[in-house]
Structure formats: structure tokens, C-alpha cells
Structure 1
């Protein structure tokens, strides 16, 4: 349902409180007290079967007795009574209900299940159970158990935990930070975090979103909403329970490395969310976002009244990977009159600095170009009290803003008090108690801008010769499943990797020690050495039972090693079956680095790509990074860069750099393998040897399992467990328009260059008709928004003329963006000016409508300039209905019900 009925939920005119007794301290009475304290001006109706009035308000015995249906119902009854209350609320026509009651159990047979079913029957939206309510301060709504009504502001706070929300709200109240809304979701029987993200992403009164969550129930829904919200405004998330153990014991190294907390972190990163790891960090984020908007740049200039305290701030900035601003000649000269120490940054005003010294220092720095933000740090002295310095700093910043210099300023005041907080709050300057908090607050906004750049980075195009043999790979997996095997044998693993062009060592399988010796002889006779490995469906980590022997140089060595393995397995794992032995040539690449790459299965987010340092001690070293597929080369390169082993991949001494592009390509191939083969549950390449010549898999394990009935594919042919929808390759088409043979496919992120060339070839008047205004700057950001899509929510089809590769040209594109409820979609289309009238526009529109129908989108609509007769004719030809736009006579709204 997503944002359905959110208007009534957050701006109710009539509220019923079920279970509201006259006893002070009861939950229902506390809700009424909170509504009054918040200044709610609508109707409040207590509902109680035995009370005549509650705190002077006339009481109703039942919801059905209320003359007009309430918009919002607050439920504070015993758990077993909740389903009946929800049913009655739905019957009388209420829009939403908040379940404050706890202990409603789990499953369809429990009270929570009955309440969910009743709400769905009537289209009633639910918050809770285990909620402590919600608040919209600007609207006077405080239907919550918060200690006091929050202040109005432009931050939205969404929390699954009532106590965490209470802590954040209380801290914000004491520091003068306000909220556009506070919503505590509890166990989210209906409305969840994704629904709230969809709403507040579009809410003009919300500038940033603060999340506290413990778990995600629907990964696809959450990530789609989170990615859309993070592109619109900063979203900060605190996850509770980051170090909880997984529900099952992983069987591969990649599975062990993909712990739940790390997977959540990877998901947040992919969505562009800013993560914090505790309440202190969350408070810093709230303070920053409550006063300061995101800004370009990352260079921080520090001003303090002592070298030591300034150096501490600079150290903390370095610890967090921040950038200390370097003053140029003009900048250094501008602060000479106020500089006390020898360093230019941090600027030391001296322990004897007076308030005016801060103003004289900030004046040139606020207008200088050597820094992107300023940090003012003050320690109180006998010469200058903190209040006087705060007033001086606030006045200097206010004057600079009035003259158009809006450089961000952060402040630290050791020993802050209420008066100091008020001074900085009125000036919209974030204030922190310590240098560490201030630096962290500054870096929240830096990281946000960096995340936005990463989200819009154009990836390199994949090599055109990368075309995996999916059919061959599927045969390998299906054969294993038909035979009832959970693990592919070494030869099948080699076949699978070969199908995706991942180089690995050839392998020979032998049933016994004599067969292993015979298989090794050709390699040994040629002057090589061999590796012998145990093959057992019951032994995943061969090294734990001595199941790997390297550098064997004779048949006798191979035979002896095989017998030794059998004896050791029988002693350590007597139940394990020995299927035979794998013989491989030893690879001599002395400058190779041992890596690990593979796939793991997370119960929430599905397949996860794992990369890091390999070897037998991989889990002890724990140098790894995770990413959710699908991956492109840019995301794969970023994944590599987040590990410590990335530094070893660079050149050092006489060792050349490893081939980073080859490593990144392997990760992209694994991502594609996960998309193509849902039955592959875990894949472990360890070690993956990398050097200047490329990469080669020395050992690998693959676990497979059939898909269960619940793992069905949703809207389209894509992996049933992927959290992020991959590129919809099954929507590629070929058509003919006039004499042109045209390839139509979904848009990819690496199409940015093609779009730039296309716009250069389109008549500027056609561009104006498409975007409703002249467009002269086709910037990277502009083009990235056209080419980087969340295929769960949007699609764009591009038409390319089929020709020699160097002559391929874009002819046009159509796009459709679905709303958060996935009920309607907005379309737009543009074709090259010189091929109008060939039927391409109609063909693209029909393809877009086919997509909408396949996705279950009921209505497609778009705004068209009244003067755009050609587009209006296409819409009429396809059955769209036109109606004027009431507040803009230059536009008409074209609408088509897809089912019709």
C-alpha cells in the first residue's frame, strides 16, 4: 500500500482513543494528555465501555457510536481485544490506527495476524503493534508517549524502537532541534520503514530523514524506497543489533564473512544512506542536519584558541579520513593579523584570545576559497567566556550570510550551557560538546555528497566479448540437482566457472589413490608439480582434515598423500564419504596475491558478493567487503577499494600492480552468475590469485539448492531473491521503422555518452517540448538521472539504429516512472527530430505500455504542452484521454487506463 492514506494519518481532524480511562498514568490517558500538550485543535474522542468522560472529554462506549468516523484511532487495549477494535475501526470508515498495545504474538493465528487481516479488508492503515505513537509538531499533533511534544522542524524521525525514538526526541528538544514528524513503527504489521521513506522523500516540509531500525522484512521494497529517498535528501540510519549472530552456521568462507551486520551495512551503502553506529553519532547527525544543509567540498578549516585543542580536532579529522584545508598564499596572508601560532590550519588564536579575535579570523575565512567549511573551537578562559565567543561567532556568520557568503560553520564550545546552545541555534550553527562530535557531524554531510556522486558515477562499459554461456552453466547446476547433490564436484565447478569465462586450473578426478597417481603422471612427466585435493560431499573445508597437499613431484608422493588423506578423514570425520581426489597442476606465479571472491546467501537481502584477502586464515584476518548484486565495473572497483588488501594490489618495490580491471570483471561475472542461476546459493573462490597478468581461480566450492515454492519470481523474469532488480535483458526487442532496423533495449548506466550525443542531434525546440523549458547544459548529473534507473520503479527504453559498431546511433527513448504505490506511472518520450513520422514514437510508447501492463501498473499518464500537437496526436492514437491542467493552461494531462 505504501503511502496510501498517509494524509489522514499525519493530519487527522478527529482522533479516537480506544482504552482511554480516567486513571492518570494509563496509556490511553497519556495519549490524551500528549494531544493536548501538543496543541491538537481537532476532535478527541475517548472510547471506553464504562467511563462517561475522560479528563473532561465526553466518552463513547464504542467506535460505532461516534457520530462522525475518526480519521485516526489510537488503540491501548489488552492484546486479545485489538483485532476486534481494528475490525470496528475499519467498519466505521477510519483511515488509520496506531496499536500501542504490546505482546500480540506472531503469525496469522495470533492477535497481530487477525488485526492485519481486518485492516486489509477495510483498507485501514496500521502502525504498530508495540508503537509509542506519532507526532507532527507543525500540525499540533502529538499522539505519542514521548516525554514532551517535539519542536517543529524539518527532520523526519522514523524508528522501529520506541525507546530509541524517545532518546533522540528528548535530546533534540534539549538542543533546540525540531522535526517535521516523528513516527514509531514498533513491529510494523502494516506501515513499515519503506512506506515512511516514500512519504518523506516527497514531503516538502522534510529536509532530511533520520532512521532507527532493527530489521528489514521486505528487502526489495526497502531498498527501492531508500534509493529513491537518498537521491532526494540525506537519510541517516542507525541499526540496532549490528553484532547479532546469524541464524545458521555458514558452510563456506564467503558465507562466514557475510555476517548479517555486514550485509545490512552493504545494503545501506548501496542505497546511499549515511550510517551511524550509536546514539552519540546519531545525536551528531541530528545536530548537523537540523542546522546545516549539504554543501559541496570536503576541506575543513579549524579555528581555535589553543594549538592543542585545534590539533586534537585535526587528528580526529585525519582519523575519520577527512581533509584538512590548505591555505594558499592569499588565504594565509588574510589571517596574519589574528594568527598566534605558527600553523595556518588549525589556526591558533592563542589562549588569550578575546571574542573579537574569533570574528576577525572568521571574516576572511568565510569569504576565502581555500576551504569548504569552518570549525570554531573554543575553550573558556579568564579572558573570554563561552557566551561572549558564541555571540561573536554567531554575529560574524550572520553578517557573512547576509552578504551572500554562506560557507558552513560548525562550533565546539567546551562547557556549553543553555544560553550558548540558544545563541548558536538561532544562528543555525551546529554546536557540539567535543571536537570529535563536530568532526563527525561535518563528515556526515561530506559523506552524503560523496555518496550522491558515487550513486551517479557512470560505470565503464563491460567488455563486448563477455557473453556467458548461461545454458551450459544451467546444465551443470541442473545435473547436480537431479542427482540430489548439494555441492558441485571439482570438475563441475570448473565447467561452471568456464561458462562465465573465469579462468581456473584444469582438474582431473580420480576415484582412489592409484587413479590419482595415474592422473598426476602426465603433469609430473612434463616437469611440473601437482596439487592433490580430497573430494568429499561431507567435507567443505578440506584443509581442516589435511585434505590438500601441494607441490607433489612423483607418483609415489601422490599415492602416499592420498592414503594419508583417507586415514586422516577416517580418524577425524568417520562419517564423511570420500568420493575421490582432484589432481591439478601447480601454478607458479610468485608475485600473485591471494584473494577471496564469491557469493553468499543472506536470509533478508538474498545473494551477496564477497571480496577480500584470501587464504586459509581468511576468517581470522577478516579483511573483506560486501556488495549487493547486480554490480557494474564502477561498483566492483569500489568494492575492491574498501578492503585493506587493495593496498597490496598496487605496485611496490619490484612487484608490478595486479590487474585491477581483471579482478573487478570477475566480481561482475559472479554478480551476473548469481542473477542467471538462482539455484547457486554459495560460491567460494579461495584463493583467487591476482597479479599483473590477470586472475586465476586456484580452488572453488559451489553449493546449490532448488528454489522453493515461496521463492517465486515477481513482475518480470528476474532472480526471486535479488534485493535490487537487475538489468531486464528479457525486454530487448528488434523492430523496423521505415527502412531502419532498430534495436530497442532498456537503458543502462553506461549509456550516458550516447545520450549526450543524441541531445546534440535533436532540434532544441523538440528538447523544449520534452522538458517544458530550453535545456542548454546536458551535465553529468542531468544525464545520470536519465540513464541510472531503479528498474523496480522506473524503466526507459532506448532505440538504437542497427549498424556497424562505430555507426550505431540513438534514435529516441521513452521512459515510465511508477509512483510509490505502483498504481500509476508518468511517461515521457523524445525521438530524434529527423525521423519523426516513421512510427518509432508510437512503437516506443506501445513498448512502454507493455511494460506497464506486465508490472501491474493500472494507469499511465503524462503532462504534455498544449502546443505539442504531434505528441498529443500520438497519445490520441493510442487511446489516451486528455483533460486540461486546472492551474496551468499551457499543459494537458494525457491518461490511459492500461487494462482497457
Structure 2
């Protein structure tokens, strides 16, 4: 990811429009007119091969003829000319261009490259950033910049809108202008050959003028870049999106249950959830989200009170809310409403104050509801009547609603009669909706967004280290299958793979013939299950290849023969190579579940959990998550299924051991992270009861991996276990390793042991504790752009050194903290040295930090390592250390 030179794209001091013609309806002429009408104050130059005069300004014949290098160039010329123009601009000193031209992906140069690739090749040596090609352009109202051929200007506001569709860009602009919604940035990505969603999420996520980011997505190219930027942006401000293509691009046959159940759209949903963004289904919902997020603040919780003068409108609102979202009014609240409302009011929520309600009745009811502790938010609704003026009601209620300490939404039902009241609310920043359904949908959007944000701040419980008995053996099983040209592990090897990761499996033996099956059954002990082994048959039960509860040797003989006959009839092409014999698991109270791994072409491995059994596809009860998981994420995955309710127990069935399911999911998550060749895996059924979890059957499909680097196939960078080490200080061995989400309790104890003065030196202000939300942020780091090394003495955290890199990997900001008993013993030097080595290895150019002048320990440590120091008037010292040479170009300017 990179935000390098994007300031020239969105805050240029000069602009050149290349490809302006005399035709008033030409793209270049439209861009020129938009720039002038938008009020761009800097130098504005037009370029065309033929000189003429445009609006009293000369048209220059080429890039070299311009008075100086433009900071931004907007290119509207034929596709074949674009690479050469980009090269000329780069050599001249331009560092940003918007390419409106289409057809670069399809066009070819004489050496066979696509025109798009030739454009990127021309831009790379100059670090010139390209928006487009095939886009509408960009509008930045705060900069009076309309470098687009959109039909009109955008209002200034605090929402950023980024879209891959030019048609939707113009529709959104028209809608926004009609509703009075303004934008900080309005950007059409087009083919996003260079600047893409990841870049803009990074840029807009730290832009102080942008309060929320709206996206229209058709596809994601670089999943890890997108996820890293999205998670960073969503921590700072709301990110809401619509994605087209809910159905798969085409039918894809999948042999395993997991592969069949995990489609591309559910995977995208899982990615959005993991990043803390909010996905809505329609453009209308996105428009509503724009208004809601722009105007609704002070979230307290999901319980909504509905105030209305019409019972029917209240019922419609209640129908679209779940039981947890409609606030249950407390007795004191009901008593207060009884005292100020007519006797025939609804006496519940929705609060129907009757159609003849004058302004004072609204005010009385509002004061009660806004003071009620059980009410987290308020929906104000009014349907016009012949008795009370909507405008009078709006004027009376606005002062109270503006000062509310909880979110307020409004719904003015009707048209012309309520138009004035709606305008008053709009002008004062109260979010208004046309229907009860739209208003309650907006409330649910707020709830979902807050839930996604809360998930980012959850601290998983501390767990003992997972034990993986034979990770190398697991890799050997997979490589042996690949070397033998096999796509699928047989059942025994599949269970051996699970066993290597500590997943409990029922005892199973693979045998070549009936005599060996009899011997295996005698070893295991009757009753047993007998299954065929055939490379042509994956789902054995579909062809009669499974027999359960075989009681003795005579029954085993008879069933084996009958099984051969059934399989021969159902699959005459199947070659039987033997049998598997496994112990019968008699667990009558167990719930059948399915857990597994599937592969998505964009986001890589995904984990699945749901209800298992033979009807798994029919029931379609499943949830999906991206690895790597921690315990909190695993529990969330389980909780998003219907089978979770069965696992909690009912009637005479005791609750199942959910911890055992969490443990299996964590082990599968590690397997998915370690073994890139595992393309599909399912355990079906995984029996779960009060005793724990047990895998009865497993299928594993493998394929040659495109990468050999651990974790490189994942959309989220996994925990970097290769960075763990042990150091000895004063004769005591300390474990130095990257921080994990499960370290929250250790970090809380670490900060709690610090004195207020130590916390002041660390955080630059006096504090007595670090709140849980901050602890979660410090533990749940993104290893793609952050690092924190901690030192552990047993279970005690002794010190930390952390750094956060900018999106360009140019500069990392660091901090160091060491517990009092370990100060002046070399631990800070060891941690900071480890951090510096890591940053150098990833190509970071420089390390910077700040400390108070009185922090003598940090000053001495910085001096010992060789940091440069510079003081400032506010009593702080800037610490700076050069790490390595600058990179040759933006990491994302590569061939698509």
C-alpha cells in the first residue's frame, strides 16, 4: 500500500488538462469547464497538439511547452498516446495523473505489452501516481477541485465516496446534491491500475476532513493490501460499502461440503466483518448510510424508543426492529408518560401520542424519553394532520433534539405538508427519512457498525499455548500426496493430518482386504464402522460405501460383500483399494457439526463452521471467517450459526463443551496458516457434546501452492512465529516474541504495575490506567504494518517495544516501556534492537519517536543506539534513526 504523492492528486497547486479540444461536448472541454466553474485557484493549463485559445487562455501544444510541471495532469487523449504522455509528465516533474481514457487494458504496444502496463512502466521511475484509467475523475470540494467530467459540482462535506463505477458516481453526485449531502472527496477509480481501494482507504482514513468513507466495490485485487488498509481506516472512522455480484460469477463444482458451502460473496462478508466495516445491500441503503453517519452521533446502545402521532407508522417501525432493538420502557418512564399524555396513549413502545398531538405534547413526551436510562436512541415520527402544524412541531422540538445526549433520527411522513418541517430538521443536522422502514433500517445500520467496531476492541482470554505434535509430519503428508499426483488424501491420511494438529479423531485403520479388516476390528474392538477406500469415490455414503455399528466378525464379512455389490452397481468405474475400519463413537447426546477450510480466489483460505451431517448443503447453516483466528473470533464464528443454540443445551440435553469447538477451530486456523497446499478440508461430522469434540470423518484436498512463504497465502498476515527468540539477562532466560491478542491480561497487569509518573513518561500525560479499548488496540496489531515485541519472564510481561509504519513503509514511529524491576539491565536495548532489526528487514527507511526531556532512561537508550535528537519548545525530544536506503518506487505500482 502507498499514499506517496497522493497529496498531489487531491491537493494540487496546479493542473494541466491534456486533450482539450474545441468541441464543447468533448471530455477535455468538460473537465476544463468543471475545473473553472469549481473555482480552482491555482494555475490551470490546457494542452492540445493544435494551438488555439480557450476561454481567453492559450492552449499549449505539449507537456514540454507548459510554463512549469503541473502537480496534477488530467489526461483525456486516445489510449495509444497515454504511456508516452505519462513518461513526459514524469520526466518534467509531475507526480500525479488522472487518466480518463478507456481501452488501455485491451490495447497493445508494439512489444506486446498492454497499454495499461506500458503506462505503469512509464510512471514507475518517477513515482508518478495514476488514478484510473477509464474513470470519471476526482472531486475535492474543499480544494475547489473538480478534475472530472461529472455533470456538476459536489457540495463540501465530511463524507468520502470512492467507486469503481463511473455511472454510479454520477448518480450518487446527483442524489447527494438533491439531499444537501456534501463530500470531502468524491473519487472514481475506474480500472484502478495503480491507485486502488487500499491506497485511498489509507489516505482517507487519516484525512482530518473526512469523517466517514463510502465505497462501491465491484472487485478486490490485492486482498492483503485491502484488508490491512480497511482495518486501519475502520478503527479511525466509519467505512460503509456496497458490493455488486452477490451471486458467484459462475457455478463452481466443489467436491467437499466446505468447498460447496463457502461462496465468494459470503467470504467477502467475512472479510468486511473482520475489517470492522459495514456492508449494506443496496445503493439506497448506502445513500441512507451516508446521511446517517454524517449526522447521527453519541451511540449508547441498540435500544430504540419510537415516538409517533400515528399507531400504524409505529407498528411499521416496530416490525422491522428485532426484539433487542425496541426498548422496553421502565415503570418510572411509563408513569412519567402517563402523567403528560392522554389516557388513550399506547402505554408502551412505540409511544403513540395520538394524532391530535400539539407541539407541547411532543415536548413533554420527548423530555421523558430522552431522560430514560433504558432508551439508547430515539426515532421521532410525525404524520400530517389537520390539527397541528408540522412546522410548529419541528420548531418547538428542535432545541431539545439538538441537545440530546443520544442518537436521534426523524421520519416526516408525507410530502408537501411536511416539507418545511423536514427542511428545518435537515438544516439542523437531524437525520431524516421518508418512511418508518428506512428510518429503522438506518438504526440497524448504526447497530451493525457499532458491533463491528466493538469486535475490533474485544480482548480474547489468555489461553495456554496450542500444542502441535507434528507440524513437520503434517507437511510431509501433504507433500507425499502431491508427489504422488493425488489431489485428495485418503481418510486415514486426512485423520493423521488432523492428529498432527491435535484435533481428536476416532480411531481409524486403513486395510487392503477383508482379512485385514477383521484383524483391525479385533484390535479396535466391536462395534465398528466399515467404509470403502476408492480414489473415485469421495462421498462414500452416496454409493452405499458406509456401514455403521458392525457388531461382530460374521456381520463384518457379510457387510463387506454387500458393500462391494452396492458400490459396483452405483459406481462401476470405481476401483476399490481396501477398507477403513474405525471405532464407533457412541455419544447419543452429541450434536453433529461441520468445520472446515475452503479457498477463495481473492481472500485465500477461509474457515467454516455450521451444522453437519448428510443434509449439510440442504440446511445451509454455516458461518465463515478469515484466518488467523483467536478465541474471541472463534466464538463469534460459532455464535453466528443456528446450531449454536443446540450446543447451548435444551430440555434434557446438557450444554456442549464450546471450548472444545473453539480449540478445534484454532487448530484448523493454524493448519490453514501453515499449509498453503491445503485447498479444501472438512470434518463432517464433528461430534460435540459435554465431553468435548470428536472428528468422525475428514476429507482433505491438496494442490501445489503458489507460494512457499509461511502465511503469504492469507489475506491477513498471521502471527510471525519465526520472530520468537530467547535472550538471557542477568542469568534469567526471557522469551522475546511479537505480541498476540491473547496478551491483553498480561499487558493490563504490566501497565497496572507502572507508577503514574512512568505512565506520564510513556503517554505524555498523567493517567492511572490504560482503558480496555486501548489495551485491545495495543494487542490486536496488524503485523502487515505494525510490530510490538514483548519480553516475558514466565507469565509476566517485563517490557515492550512497538512501532507503527506509515503506508509507504518510509517511517515507523516507535515507543519503548520496561517494567521497573527490569530497568537499567539491558532489556530495553534488547527489545529496541530486535525491533530495529525487524524494520530494517522489511525495508523501513527511518525510525522516529518522541520523549519528554525528563525521560532520562529513554534518552540514554536512544543515545546508546545512535539516534539523532532534536529538542522543541514544548519540552519534548524528537528521536530519529536512519535504517536504510529509500525504496525504488511504490510497492503497489506493479503489473496487474
Does the pair score TM above 0.5? yes
1:742 and 2:734 matched = yes
Unaligned runs of 5+ in 2: 886-896
Q: Does 1:706 align with 2:704?
A: yes
8 Å contact kept, 1:105–1:112? yes
**1:573 deviation in Å?**
4.4
**CA deviation after TM superposition for structure 1 residue 764, in Å:** 2.5
Q: Is the contact between residue 593 and residue 684 of structure 2 (CA under 8 Å) also seen in structure 1?
A: yes
Give the corresponding residue for 2:35. 35
What secondary structure is seen at the aligned counterpart in 2 of 1:318? coil
Say which SS state the counterpart of residue 324 (structure 1) adopts.
coil
Q: Distance in 2 between matches of 1:247 and 1:131?
A: 30
Q: Out of 665, 668, 673, which is 1:667 matched to? A: 665
Q: Deviations 1:406-460 (Å, cap 9, x if unpaired)?
A: 3221001112455444312211100011111111212222222222221111112
SS at match of 2:429: coil
The alignment status of 1:223 with 2:234, answered yes or no, reads no
For 1:11 and 1:464, the matched residues in 2 are separated by 50
Q: In structure 2, what is the equivalent of residue 381 of structure 1? A: 385
Is the 1:335–1:364 Cα contact (8 Å) retained in structure 2? no
Work out which of the residue numbers 871, 878, 882 in structure 2 matches 1:897.
882
Distance in 1 (alpha carbons) for counterparts of 2:816 and 2:574: 62
- Looking at structure 1, the residues matched to 104 and 171 of structure 2 have their Cα atoms a distance apart, in angstroms, of 25
What's 1:212 paired with?
A: 216
The CA distance in 2 between the partners of 1:572 and 1:52, in whole Å, is: 80
- What are the superposed Cα offsets for residues 73-110 of structure 1, whole Å, 9 maximum, x if unpaired? 11222222222222222122112111112222259821
- Matched position secondary structure for 1:336: helix
In the alignment, which of 786, 799, 816 is matched to residue 794 of structure 1? 786
1:423 is matched with 424
Aligned length in residues: 878
Alignment partners' CA distance in 1, 2:338 and 2:113: 72
Distance 1:338 1:330 in 2: 12
TM-score normalised to the size of structure 1?
Answer: 0.94
Which of 314, 322, 332 does residue 329 from structure 1 map onto?
Answer: 332
Pairing of 1:301-316 with structure 2 (within 5 A): 301-316=305-320
Distance 1:552 1:585 in 2: 10
Distance 2:554 2:612 in 1: 31
- Aligned equivalents of 1:668 and 1:836: distance in 2? 36
1:765-776 correspondence runs (5 A): 765-776=757-768
Partner of 2:301 in structure 1? 297
CA deviations over 1:833-871 (Å, ceiling 9, x no partner): 233221111111101111111222121111121222321
Aligned counterparts of 1:420 and 1:22: Cα–Cα separation in 2: 47
Contact 1:75–1:98 (Cα < 8 Å) also in 2: yes
Q: Could you tell me which residue of structure 2 aligns to residue 406 of structure 1?
A: 405
SS at match of 2:607: strand
**Contact 2:134 2:190 (8 Å CA) reproduced:** yes
Aligned equivalent of 2:893: none
Cα deviation, residue 294, structure 1: 4.9
Q: Does the aligned pair in 2 maintain the 1:513–1:563 contact within 8 Å? A: no
User: Are 1:689 and 1:697, in contact at CA under 8 Å, matched by a contact in 2?
Assistant: yes
In the other structure, the counterpart of 2:822 is 835
Q: Indicate if the aligned counterparts of 2:158 and 2:184 stay in contact, CA closer than 8 A.
A: yes
Separation of aligned partners in 2, 1:185 and 1:564: 63
SS in 1 for 2:320: helix
Q: Give, in whole Å, the separation in 2 of the partners of 1:506 and 1:737.
A: 47
Q: 1:334 to 1:465 in 2, by over 3 A?
A: same
Distance in 2, matches of 1:628 and 1:158, equals 25
Question: Where does residue 179 of structure 2 map in the other structure?
Answer: 175
The answer to whether 1:637 aligns with 2:635 is yes
Three-state SS of the structure 2 residue aligned to 1:67 is coil
The answer (yes or no) to whether the contact 1:494–1:506 under 8 Å persists in 2 is no
In 2, Cα distance between the equivalents of 1:75 and 1:446? 43
- Given the superposition, is the C-alpha separation of residues 247 and 315 from structure 1 closer, same or farther in structure 2, using an over 3 Å criterion? closer
Q: Which moved more, 1:416-425 or 1:357-366?
A: 416-425
> How does 1:202-281 map onto structure 2 within 5 Å?
202-245=206-249, 248-281=252-285
Matches within 5 A, 1:679-690: 679-690=677-688
Identify the match of residue 196 of structure 1 among 174, 177, 200.
200
- How far did 1:744 drift? 1.5
1:856 and 1:110 map into 2 onto residues whose CA distance is 30
Which deviates more from structure 2 when the two are superposed, residues 815-824 or residues 741-750? Answer: 741-750
Q: Is 2:721 the counterpart of 1:729?
A: yes
5 Å-filtered alignment, 1:538-577, equals 538-555=536-553, 557-570=555-568, 572-577=570-575
* Consecutive aligned runs of 4 or more in structure 1 exceeding 6 Å deviation: none
Whole-Å Cα distance in 2 between the matches of residues 159 and 467 of structure 1?
A: 45
Q: CA deviation at 1:332?
A: 3.8
**1:343 positional shift:** 2.2
State the shift of 1:796 in Å: 1.1
Q: Distance in 2 between matches of 1:432 and 1:624?
A: 34
Deviation at 1:737, TM superposition (A): 2.1
RMSD (CA atoms): 2.2
Say if 1:83 and 1:118, in contact at 8 Å, map to a contact too.
yes
**Cα displacement string for residues 494-538 of structure 1 (whole angstroms, at most 9, x for unaligned residues):** 211111221111222222455445544556xx5x33322222223
1:781 aligns with 2:784: no
Check if 1:878 corresponds to 2:882.
no
1:822 aligns with 2:825: no
The worse-fitting range, judged by mean Cα deviation, of 405-414 and 567-576 is 567-576
What are the equivalent positions in structure 2 for 1:475-554 lying under 5 Å apart?
475-513=476-514, 515-517=516-518, 519-520=520-521, 526=525, 528-554=526-552
Q: 1:61 to 1:478 in 2, by over 3 A?
A: same
Q: Counterpart of 2:138 in 1: which secondary structure?
A: strand
Q: 1:546 to 1:84 in 2, by over 3 A?
A: farther
TM-score by length of 2: 0.94
Partner of 1:805: none
Cα distance, 1:872 vs. partner? 1.5
Q: How many angstroms apart in 1 are the aligned matches of 2:634 and 2:469?
A: 18
Q: Tell me how far 1:730 sits from its aligned partner.
A: 1.6
Structure 1 distance, partners of 2:535, 2:843, is 44
Aligned to 2:17: 17
Quote the residue 2:888 is aligned against.
none
Distance 1:302 1:511 in 2: 70
Give distance in 1, aligned partners of 2:3 and 2:648: 49
Give the direction of change, closer, same or farther, for the CA distance of 1:846–1:246 in structure 2 (3 Å limit).
Answer: farther
Q: 2:890 matched to which residue of 1?
A: none
- The residue matched to 1:352 in structure 2 has which SS? coil
- In structure 2, the partner of 1:457 is 458
**Per-residue displacement from partner, 1:21-69 (whole Å, max 9, x unpaired)?**
1212221122122223322222222222125133444211212211111
Following the alignment from structure 1 to structure 2, what is the Cα–Cα distance between the partners of residues 871 and 274? Answer: 41
Contact 2:333/2:369 (<8 A) preserved: no
Deviates more, 1:159-168 or 1:381-390: 381-390
Matched-pair contact (CA < 8 Å) for 1:302–1:346: yes
More RCO (CA 8 Å, sep 6+): 2
Check 1:800–1:515 CA distance in 2 against 1; reply closer, same or farther (3 A cut): closer
Residues 172, 286 of structure 1: 8 Å contact kept = no
**1:109 partnered with 2:113:** yes
Residues 196 and 294 (structure 1), Cα distance of their counterparts in 2 relative to 1, 3 Å cut: farther
Please list every run of 5 or more consecutive structure 1 residues that lacks an aligned counterpart in the other structure: 803-807
Cα distance in 1 between the residues matched to 2:138 and 2:553: 75
**Deviation (angstroms), 1:566:** 4.4
Q: Shift in Å at residue 231 of structure 1? A: 0.9
| Native 8 Å contact 1:314 1:324 kept in 2 | no
The aligned counterpart of 1:45 is 45
Matches within 5 A, 1:598-617: 598-617=596-615
Q: What residue is the counterpart of 1:861 in the other structure?
A: 848
Within 2, Cα distance between the matches of 1:23 and 1:161? 26
Structure 1 range deviating more: 782-791 or 361-370: 361-370
Contact 2:468 2:500 in 1 (8 A): no
Q: Secondary structure at the match of 1:30?
A: helix
Give distance in 1, aligned partners of 2:189 and 2:488. Answer: 42
Question: In the superposition, relative to structure 1, how do residues 345 and 229 fare at CA in structure 2: closer, same or farther (>3 Å)?
Answer: same
Match among 145, 160, 165 for residue 164 of structure 2: 160
Task: Render the CA deviation track for 1:587-618: whole Å, top value 9, x for unaligned.
Answer: 22111111110101111111101111111221
Among 292, 313, 324, the alignment partner of 1:288 is 292
